[in-house]
Amino acid sequence: MNNRGYMLYELIIAFILTTIISIFLLSTAFKLNDRNQELIVSSKISVLQEDFTSRFYKDARGHMSTYFVGAIGDANGEYCSFYMDDQEVRFGIDKNSRTIYYGDYESKLPDGVNPVSINCGSTYSGMGYENSIFHNIREGNKNSAITINVRLEDVVTNKDYNINILYLYQDTNVKYSG
């Protein structure tokens, strides 16, 4: 620096250093923003999983028999059909309105998150005998499981999320399809 002020090269160096530091800080801020978005969506998905799991468990435990019938889907959405004491209950996704529903309850997905697919299934194991009048009922002590998997996609962060429900139960009158 001379007596009249800063030299041109000193100003250029200061500008370059300020630009480099600004670029570093902005890239860090953008990474933190993406991570924040992931955490917000992950938290909301966890709340949805807990909500739908508790609703399904409450309903399934309140009925004598619960069984999975099948899955149906088209371009607008998909659902799994369950019977609880001979009353049909659907657990599904609506791709147009971006909602997940179970029975009469539905919940809108967070912004930027789209439903992709739903997969459901059931298994049973145990000893017993097949009732000859009702071929779809097995009598005896069973360990059974119903599984529900909803796959979601976050278009902002390009990350996939899953809502998984596993309902394990033991029943003496378990219905199954097949």
The 10s digit of each residue's pLDDT in 54-67 is 998 888 877 777 77
Residue span of the structural domain in which 43 resides: 8-175
Any domain includes 3? no
Tally of domains in the chain = 1
- Residue 168 maps to a domain: yes
Give the position of tokens 């796959």. 151
Res. 143 pLDDT band, cuts 50 70 90: low
Domain for residue 2, yes or no?
no
Q: Report yes or no on 152 lying in a domain.
A: yes
Structure tokens at 60: 């399934």
User: How are beta strands 99-102 and 113-130 bridged, if at all?
Assistant: unpaired
Residue 158 lies in a domain: yes
Residue 135, pLDDT above cutoff 50:
no
Q: What local confidence, expressed as pLDDT, does residue 129 receive?
A: 38
Token representation of residue 25: 């800080």
Whole-angstrom Cα distance, residue 39 to residue 123? Answer: 34
**CA 45 vs CA 41, 53, 62, 79, 163: distances in Å:** 6, 12, 26, 19, 7
Residue 28 lies in a domain: yes
Contact present, 61 and 88 (Cβ < 8 Å)? no
Q: Which residues pair with 53 in a beta bridge?
A: none
**What gap in Å lies between CA 57 and CA 62, rounded to an integer?**
8
Residue 117 lies in a domain: yes
The whole-model pTM stands at: 0.67
Residue 129 vs residues 40, 115, 178: alpha-carbon distances, Å: 50, 41, 16
Pairing of strands 87-94, 99-102: antiparallel
37 lies in a domain? yes
Report the first-to-last Cα separation within the chain, whole angstroms. 88
Q: Looking at residues 44-63, what average pLDDT do you find?
A: 87
